[in-house]
Amino acid sequence: MTSSSTRSVAGADLSPLTSSRSVTQTVNGSHKFVIQGYSLAKGMGVGKHIASDNFTVGGYQWAVYFYPDGKNPEDNSAYVSVFIALASEGTDVRALFELTLVDQSGKGKHKVHSHFDRSLEGGPYTLKYRGSMWGYKRFFRRNLLELSDYFKDDCLQINCAVGVVVSAIDSSRLHTIHVPQSDIGVHFGMLLENMEGSDITFNVAGEKFHAHKVVLAARSPVFRSKFFDGAEENEQEVVITDLEPKVFKALLHFIYRDTLSEDVEGVGSSFSSVPSTSETLTAQLLAVADRYGLERLKLMCESHLCKDISVNSVSKMLALADQYHAMELRAVCLKFAAQNLAAVMRSDGFEYLRENCPALQSDILKTVAGCEEDWSSGGAKSPSVWAQLSDGGDSSGRRVRQRT
């Protein structure tokens, strides 16, 4: 990888450090050569061959030569010969080869001569010029071949594989092009801020917000149904009386930018210090996300709220999660409440559950039973939550002073 740093040796500046990477590999290809009418080719003469069609591998032309009477006069036609030949112009072409005589009985016992998948002491074979060949003068004894499973219906099949050796500088690893993060949210955010092309106005508690129906419909199934499937397609202004302007502003921020606004990110939920879950901006935004079918916004709010779970806040947060179908947050709250049951039961929030959401108390107890079972089956030495109730402690073993 190229570096732009400059080195200094004995006070002298040197040029930036550079590096390169050479990659040597093979470009592979194969060809099937069927020799039909073998018996008619016999007797054509020693050194004479039947050639396959040319095929291209690695930018070069190749061919398979089959010698029915052999290539070597000294063998007196006792062997058949098979060679792979360079059939195009080339100089010092380095390659790996494989010749396979196919077993036509279906047993799969092919005769294979291969350079692939094994170490070659002298490296790949080098073909010096056009017409250079690699192969075997004594490929197979002819009388045995004619009685073997390789010979069927006066036919032979020879498969050939060629791997041409090539070397190159791997520039893809030396030069990289940085692609910045998507800025589509920035552009859509500018569209919201500039109000250019807006075709719908929302009157939220007297404060007006301009938006684009098509953007709202693309993000929310509720808005899509409202503006394109219902009787309100031509509506120019929508009055909303049950939301605060800051909540609707945060909603539009997400719809256009796909992020939480700074008002949401910068403020904790502070559940322990407010009497109602609906008073926090994040909680109100969670309700709006559920109302308009914005599942990603709902998860983002759940993640934000999850950071503030405590003994004092978990009961109220559980009720909130249950009301607005925030299933991830609901599961976390149940588990936390089960693991800290004694302390949670002595909190003000638990009294709220007793009065308003008794079914959630039952869910907590069911979760407690599940936790007890998990601890028992896993062999973990976790204190029993039922023991917590009897001694007034929480799950970490700390004593919790009872309220008077």
Residue-level pLDDT at 231: 66
Query: Do 182-259 and 262-404 come out as alike in CATH topology?
Result: no
Please name the amino acid found at residue 18: T
- Each of the 404 residues of the chain gets a pLDDT tens digit; together they read 444 444 555 555 566 667 778 888 999 999 999 999 999 999 999 999 999 999 999 999 999 999 999 999 999 999 999 999 999 998 899 999 999 999 999 999 999 988 887 777 778 889 999 999 999 999 999 999 999 999 999 999 999 999 999 988 876 555 677 889 889 989 999 999 998 899 999 999 999 999 999 999 999 999 999 888 876 677 889 999 999 999 999 999 999 999 998 877 655 545 544 445 557 899 999 999 999 999 999 999 999 999 888 888 888 899 999 999 999 999 999 999 888 888 888 888 888 888 888 888 888 888 887 765 554 555 444 445 445 544 444 433 333 333 33
Residue-level pLDDT at 218: 94
CATH of domain 27-168: 2.60.210.10
Give Cβ neighbours of residue 82 (< 8 Å, ≥ 6 apart): 64, 65, 66, 67, 99, 101, 135, 136, 139, 158
Residue-level pLDDT at 96: 93
How many CA atoms does the CB half-sphere of 281 hold within 13 Å?
Answer: 16
CATH match for 182-259 among 3.40.50.410, 3.30.710.10, 3.40.630.30, 3.40.50.1400: 3.30.710.10
Residue-level pLDDT at 278: 52
34, with CB counted inside 10 A (0-12, 13-18, 19+), is exposed
3-state DSSP of the chain: CCCCCCCEECCEECCCCCCCCEEEEEEEEEEEEEEECHHHHCCCCCCCCEECCCEEECCEEEEEEEECCCCCHHHCCCEEEEEEEECCCCCCEEEEEEEEECCCCCCCCCEEEECCCCCCCCCCEEECCCCCEEEEEEEEEHHHHCCCCCCECCEEEEEEEEEEEEEEECHHHHCCCCCCCCCHHHHHHHHHHHCCCCCEEEEECCEEEEECHHHHHHHCHHHHHHHHHCCCCCCCEEEECCCCHHHHHHHHHHHHHCCCCHHHHCCCCCHHHCCCHHHCHHHHHHHHHHHCCCHHHHHHHHHHHHCCCCCCCHHHHHHHHHHCCCHHHHHHHHHHHHHCHHHHHCCHHHHHHHHHCHHHHHHHHHHHHHHHHHHHHHCCCCCCHHHHHHHCECCCCCECCCCC
Residue-level pLDDT at 120: 73
Contact 216, 255 (CB under 8 A): yes
Contact 296, 223 (CB under 8 A): no
Residue 39, both tokens? 């018996």
311, with CB counted inside 10 A (0-12, 13-18, 19+), is buried
Please name the amino acid found at residue 250: A
Residue 183, both tokens? 């800025």
Residue-level pLDDT at 348: 81
Residue 217, both tokens? 């419909």
Task: Give the sign of the dihedral formed by CA 60, CA 63, CA 64, CA 66.
Answer: negative
Query: Would you kindly state where each structural domain of the chain is located, as residue ranges?
Result: 27-168, 182-259, 262-404
Residue-level pLDDT at 365: 83
Give Cβ neighbours of residue 84 (< 8 Å, ≥ 6 apart): 62, 63, 64, 65, 97, 99, 133, 134, 135, 160, 162
Contact 136, 184 (CB under 8 A): no
CATH match for 262-404 among 1.25.40.420, 1.10.268.10, 1.20.120.80, 3.90.1150.10: 1.25.40.420
pTM across the whole model: 0.53
